[in-house]
C-alpha cells in the first residue's frame, strides 16, 4: 500500500504546487493568519475529514481515523509568514505589501494538505490514526505550538513528526539529528539611561552611545571568555538605537538582540553574565539601566529512535540521494515543545532551488517545490514504519 500512496502523492504534485503558490501570494503574519486558517479548514471540510478550527489561537487540527487498529501519529505544518517585502520576480510573488512567506511555511502547508487528501482515499485500509496539526505563529514567540498543546492536540498521540523544507540544502537530501537538532532561541532588550548634552561638552554628559558600545563589546566576551569553548552559544545584538542629531550626545540607548544555545545550563549562565556586565558598565558610568530577558523556544531535541526511523525510511526513497545525521543548527523552532511532550523527530528536507541560493528570511527567498512530495513521502513512510515498532 505504501508504494501506491507514494504514487498518489506524485500524481497530486501539481495540486501541491498550486496550493503552495496560492498561499505564497496571500501570506499572513503570525497571530493574524485568519484567512489562511479558513482556507485550511475548508480544504478538510471538502475532504470530509473531521477538523477543529481556532485551536490554541488560529490553529487547525484534522483527524483521519483509519479502518484498522493502530497507533496515533501526528504530523505538524506551520503556516504563518514574515514581515518581509517579497522582491523576487515570479508569477506567485506575494500580493501583500511587506509580508512574505520567506521560510517555506506555505510549502509545509501544501505538503500536509495534499498528504491528507491522498490518505483519505486509503482510509479504510489505514492502520491507526493520523492527526494533521496546522500550526499558526511559529515565527514569533511565544508561538503557536504551546497554546495548541495546552488545548489538547497531543492527547492520545503516540508520536509526532515534522519537517522543514530547507532551501540551503540540496534537493534529495534528508537531514536530522538523534539528539539536539536546533538551538534554543531567546530575546533580550537593554535600555541605558545616560545624560545627554551638547556634542561640544562631552565631559558634562553620560554618553549613552559610548556606554552602549561598551556593553556590546563586553557581551561578545561572554562567549569567547566566560563560556566553556566546548559549549555552543551565540549572543547577537541586532538592533542599537540611540541619538537624534550629529551634535547632540545621546541621553538613552536601546540594545535588542538574541541568544542561541544548546544547553539549558549555559542559558542560565549567559543570563547571569549579561546582567553582571550591564550592571558593571552602567555603575562605572553612573547611569541606570533596565535589562529584560525573554526566554523563547527551547532547543529542538529529537528522540533517538524516531530520528533513526526518519533516516531509515527516507534512505529507501528513490528521490533521496542522501539521508544524514547533522550537527545542530542555531536556528530556533517551537516544534521543540511537541518533543517535550511526546516521542518524535523533526527533520530537514533539502529544497535548494537552481539559481536561487538565498537563505531563509531573505526578500529573494524561494525553494525547490519538488522537495514537497519528498517530504510527504518521508512523513507517511515514517507513519507506517512506526506502526510496526
CATH superfamily of 2-182+299-387: Zn peptidases (3.40.630.10)
Region 26-51: mean pLDDT is 98
Spatial distance between the Cα atoms of 160 and 171, rounded to a whole number of angstroms: 24
Q: What is the pLDDT of residue 215?
A: 98
Q: What is the pLDDT of residues 264-288, one digit of tens each?
A: 999 999 999 999 999 999 999 999 9
**DSSP, residue by residue, 330-358:** S---THHHHHHHS-EEEEEEE--BTTB-P
Spatial distance between the Cα atoms of 268 and 87, rounded to a whole number of angstroms: 40
2-182+299-387 against 184-297: fold identical:
no
For residues 89 and 37, is the Cβ–Cβ distance under 8 A?
no
Residue 361 assigned to a binding site? yes
Residue 189 assigned to a binding site? no
Q: What is the pLDDT of residues 330-340, one digit of tens each?
A: 999 999 999 99
Spatial distance between the Cα atoms of 224 and 241, rounded to a whole number of angstroms: 25
Residue 103 assigned to a binding site? yes
For residues 145 and 326, is the Cβ–Cβ distance under 8 A?
no
For the segment(s) 184-297, the CATH number from 3.30.70.360, 1.20.1260.10, 3.90.1150.10, 3.40.50.11810 is 3.30.70.360
DSSP annotation of 123: G
Spatial distance between the Cα atoms of 365 and 101, rounded to a whole number of angstroms: 8
Spatial distance between the Cα atoms of 312 and 382, rounded to a whole number of angstroms: 9
Region 70-84: mean pLDDT is 98
Q: What is the pLDDT of residues 193-238, one digit of tens each?
A: 999 999 999 999 999 999 999 999 999 999 999 999 999 999 999 9
Q: Which of 78, 138, 251, 334 is catalytic?
A: 138
Region 59-81: mean pLDDT is 98
Q: What is the pLDDT of residue 154?
A: 98
Residue 129: other Cβ atoms inside 10 A: 18
Residue 389 has pLDDT above 90, yes or no: no
Region 85-102: mean pLDDT is 98
DSSP annotation of 299: P
DSSP annotation of 245: S
Q: Which of 80, 106, 158, 333 is catalytic?
A: 80
Determine whether 251 is an active site residue. Answer: no
The whole-angstrom distance between residue 293's C-alpha and the CA centroid of its chain comes to 20
The fraction of the chain above a pLDDT of 70, given in percent, is 100
For residues 206 and 287, is the Cβ–Cβ distance under 8 A?
yes
Q: What is the pLDDT of residues 136-185, one digit of tens each?
A: 999 999 999 999 999 999 999 999 999 999 999 999 999 999 999 999 99
Residue ranges per structural domain of the chain: 2-182+299-387, 184-297
Cα four-point dihedral sign 314, 319, 321, 324: negative
**C-alpha grid cell, residue 163:** 519537517
Q: What is the pLDDT of residue 324?
A: 98
* pLDDT, mean over the chain: 98
Residue 295: other Cβ atoms inside 10 A: 17
Determine whether 80 is an active site residue. Answer: yes
Considering only CA atoms, which of 124, 99, 181 is closest in space to residue 1?
A: 124
Residue 253 pairs with which residues in a beta bridge?
Answer: 192, 242
Region 375-379: mean pLDDT is 98
pTM of this structure: 0.95
Spatial distance between the Cα atoms of 342 and 155, rounded to a whole number of angstroms: 10
What contacts 215, CB < 8 A, 6 or more positions away? 190, 192, 255, 277, 278, 281
Spatial distance between the Cα atoms of 86 and 81, rounded to a whole number of angstroms: 11
**C-alpha grid cell, residue 40:** 485550511
Residue 4: other Cβ atoms inside 10 A: 12
CA dihedral 99, 61, 350, 14 (to 10 degrees): -80
Q: What is the pLDDT of residue 166?
A: 98
Measured at the alpha carbon of residue 369, what is the angle toward residues 12 and 142, in degrees to the nearest 5? 105
Residue 174 pairs with which residues in a beta bridge?
Answer: 323, 349
Amino acid at each position: 500500500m505504501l508504494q501506491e500512496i507514494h504514487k498518489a502523492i506524485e500524481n497530486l504534485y501539481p495540486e501541491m504546487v498550486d496550493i503552495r503558490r496560492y498561499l505564497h501570494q496571500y501570506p499572513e503574519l503570525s497571530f493574524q493568519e485568519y484567512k489562511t486558517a479558513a482556507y485550511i479548514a475548508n480544504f478538510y471540510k471538502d475532504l470530509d475529514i473531521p477538523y477543529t478550527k481556532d485551536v490554541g489561537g488560529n490553529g487547525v487540527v484534522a483527524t483521519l481515523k483509519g479502518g484498522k487498529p493502530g497507533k496515533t501519529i501526528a504530523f505538524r505544518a506551520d503556516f504563518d509568514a514574515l514581515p518581509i517585502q517579497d522582491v523576487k520576480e515570479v508569477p506567485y510573488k506575494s500580493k501583500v505589501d511587506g509580508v512574505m512567506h520567506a521560510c517555506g511555511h506555505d510549502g509545509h502547508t501544501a505538503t500536509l494538505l495534499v498528504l491528507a487528501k491522498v490518505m483519505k482515499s486509503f482510509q479504510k485500509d489505514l492502520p491507526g490514526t493520523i492527526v494533521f496539526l496546522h500550526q499558526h505563529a511559529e515565527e514569533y514567540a511565544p508561538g503557536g505550538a504551546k497554546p495548541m498543546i495546552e488545548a489538547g492536540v497531543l492527547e492520545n498521540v503516540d508520536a509526532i513528526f515534522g519537517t522543514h523544507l530547507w532551501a540551503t540544502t540540496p534537493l534529495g537530501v534528508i537531514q536530522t539529528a538523534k539528539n539536539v537538532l536546533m538551538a534554543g532561541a531567546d530575546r533580550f532588550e537593554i535600555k541605558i539611561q545616560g545624560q545627554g548634552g551638547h556634542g561640544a561638552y562631552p565631559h558634562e554628559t553620560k554618553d549613552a552611545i559610548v556606554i552602549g558600545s561598551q556593553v556590546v563589546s563586553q557581551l561578545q566576551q561572554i562567549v569567547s571568555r566566560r563560556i566553556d569553548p566546548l559549549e555552543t552559544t551565540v549572543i547577537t545584538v541586532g538592533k542599537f538605537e540611540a541619538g537624534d542629531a550629529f551634535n547632540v550626545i545621546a541621553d538613552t540607548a536601546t540594545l535588542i538582540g538574541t541568544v542561541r544555545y544548546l544547553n539549558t545550563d549555559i542559558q542560565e549562565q549567559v543570563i547571569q553574565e549579561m546582567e553582571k556586565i550591564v550592571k558593571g558598565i552602567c555603575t562605572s558610568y553612573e547611569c541606570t539601566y533596565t535589562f529584560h530577558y525573554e526566554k523563547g523556544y527551547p532547543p529542538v531535541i529529537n528522540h533517538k529512535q524516531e530520528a533513526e526511523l526518519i533516516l531509515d525510511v527516507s534512505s529507501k526513497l528513490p528521490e533521496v540521494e542522501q539521508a544524514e545525521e547533522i550537527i545542530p543548527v542555531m536556528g530556533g523552532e517551537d516544534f521543540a515543545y511537541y518533543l517535550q511532550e511526546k516521542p518524535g523527530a523533526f527533520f530537514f528536507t533539502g529544497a535548494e532551488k537552481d539559481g536561487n541560493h538565498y537563505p531563509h528570511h531573505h526578500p529573494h527567498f524561494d525553494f525547490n517545490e519538488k522537495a514537497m512530495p519528498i517530504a510527504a513521502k518521508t512523513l507517511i513512510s515514517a507513519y507506517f514504519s512506526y506502526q510496526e515498532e
